[in-house]
Amino acid sequence: MRKQIFFAIGLLCFLSSFAQNYSTLAEQQARIQNIVKAYPQLATVSSMIKTNGGKDIWMITIGTGKTETKPAIAVVGGVEGNHLLGAELVIGFAENVLKASGTDSIKNLLQKTTYYLFPNMSPDASEQYFAKLKYERTGNATSTDDDRDGRLNEDPFDDLDGNGKITLMRIESPIGDYKLHPDDARALIKADPSKGEKGKYLLLSEGIDNDKDGLFNEDGEGGIAFNKNGTYKHKTFSPGAGDYPASEKETRALYDFLYDAFNVYAVISFGSNNNLSANDDKATSIVSDLYNKVSGLKDAPRTSVTGGDFLSWAYQHYVRYSFSTPGWWVPKSKPDTAKKEKAFTVEDPIANYLRWSAQQGITDVFTEWKTIVHPNFSDQKVEVGGVDPFVLINPPYKQVADLSKKHTEFLIKVAAFQPEIDLMNVKTESLANGLTRVSVDVVNKGALATHSKFADRNYFVKKIKVAVTVSDKQSLVGGKKILLLNNMEPSTKQSFSWIIKGKGKITIDAGCPTAGTKNIDISL
């Protein structure tokens, strides 16, 4: 049966591979609406809010029956507007899993697990990829005064070489801190003064100092970034963060929904932050191990959170398992000995990318350095060029189908780890005077804890509730009708007993939103 699932997934991915480029917002919307039309019993869609740019923030719910009562995984794309792959992976997962929904395995999955999907949290920014002027944008359409000079958007990007792309400028300068890469002069690396190295170039974003403040492109279109607008360690007043946390409609809309979604036990997001490739936390290392095995990705670049980010918010403030991955990064290239290539004497991501892309036959990803006349550097040599926008963080589109297949497999398999409450070892013992002792073990059968330990002090994570229901003709003599339990680690149990007077049936319920509920009827 597993072969049927992944054959169906693979077929859909193969068919979708005929697409030539990443999906525009209109194409994303069409794909989302087609999902709901094709699988109305399994998927619903709604627009949570419109951004200041008038773009919809879509949410897809996948599951069966009362989806809000089942343990859930939230999957979030578009965490950063320049990371186009994230939206493709989220929408691709929805298409793939529903395409396979006729198989027994996916039927069982959706009977136990709900998926809340948020394909693109940065639609204002991601659409810049398709604009007449292409540059990597992460901020939304909120107008901001990033340089605090009392004016809005007065120093935008300038296309100095007229190619429709914003790349870099290298300016020959005695105070420059960059030098040419010794193995590939197209790339620049920082000079190391401790080694006696001297820089030759200043390296700046392609543009003009329109507002004469000594900075370039520091206050253009593209205001507040979703991945900087979070409430955990918010960098107040820093560019792109917003004047206060959760200032933006899209941020608040997602937070409001998730805080009410008590059944979410894990949040998986796609963006530059990466804690899936290497995780030292024993409780969640199994998820990292699964990801590495399924994705096959190696040599992950080091990443660090900077504050206001979604990964940290989901763990620290929402208090759920929180995982994030870029979904792809530039592989580490090896020298082609047939072409007499040698290993780099200095490791550098740009040089590595240029070698890797050439070996893959990928073209049109680098703008050759071109000398221009620059009004701010009239007496210096200025060249415009460098790696094109978006290519370092988004794979060639022909690779998206395979990545979508692998991440669909991961999102399916990770649900097998979810916490699961069960009632076991039920015993009844007749006592004198019409009394019965009832004993039961409450067990977490899952591979993950019901919630983290510090979630015990958080209102938005509900505790495990164990309750005994008796009839009017029965009375509870010993034990409490309702008990609240804190975090339960995987494969652990807690034992309880009650003394009840009377005959007939009683009901014992145990569970919580993140781990499901189990109930049993017991005859006295």
DSSP 86: H
DSSP 410-435: HHHHGGGGS--EEEEEEEEEE-STTE
Contact 55, 127 (CB under 8 A): yes
H or E element at residue 321: strand 321-325
* Residue 82 in this model has a pLDDT that exceeds 80: yes
Q: Evaluate if residue 219 carries a pLDDT over 60.
A: no
**Which of the four pLDDT bands, split at 50, 70 and 90, describes residue 399?**
very high
Residue type, 40: P
> What is the C-alpha to C-alpha distance for residues 364 and 388, in angstroms, rounded to an integer?
8
Spatial neighbors of 259 by CB under 8 A, at least 6 apart, are: 318, 460
Distance, in Å, from the CA atom of 253 to the CA atom of 310, rounded to the nearest integer, reads 14
Phi-psi region of 362 (alpha: psi -120 to 50; beta: other; left: phi over 0): beta
Give the number of other CB atoms < 10 A from CB of residue 5.
Answer: 23
Q: Mean pLDDT for the chain?
A: 91
Residue 337 binned pLDDT confidence (cut-offs 50, 70, 90) = confident
Is the pLDDT score of 482 beyond 80?
A: yes
User: Would you call 516 helix, strand, or coil by DSSP?
Assistant: strand
> Tens digits of per-residue pLDDT, 420-460?
999 999 999 999 999 999 999 999 999 999 998 888 888 88
Compute the distance between CA of residue 331 and CA of residue 336 in angstroms, rounded to an integer: 14
> Domains along the chain?
2-128+224-329+395-417 (3.40.630.10), 145-221+332-392 (no CATH), 421-523 (2.60.40.10)
Q: What's CA 268's distance to the chain center, in Å?
A: 5
Give the pTM: 0.92
What is d(CA 133, CA 152) in angstroms, rounded to the nearest whole number? 19
Predicted confidence at residue 511, as pLDDT, reads 96
427 vs 12 pLDDT, higher one? 427
Helical spans, DSSP H, in 360-414: 400-413
Residue 513 to residues 311, 421, 453: CA-CA distances in angstroms? 22, 10, 16
Residues in CB range of 519: below 8 A, 6 or more apart: 423, 507, 508, 509, 510
Dihedral angle over CA of 263, 264, 265, 270, nearest 10: 170
User: pLDDT band at 14, cuts 50/70/90?
Assistant: very low
Structure confidence at residue 339 as a pLDDT band (50, 70, 90): confident
Question: What is the total residue count of the chain?
Answer: 524
Pairwise CA distance, residues 63 & 72, whole Å: 9
pLDDT tens per residue, range 87-116: 999 999 999 999 999 999 999 999 999 999
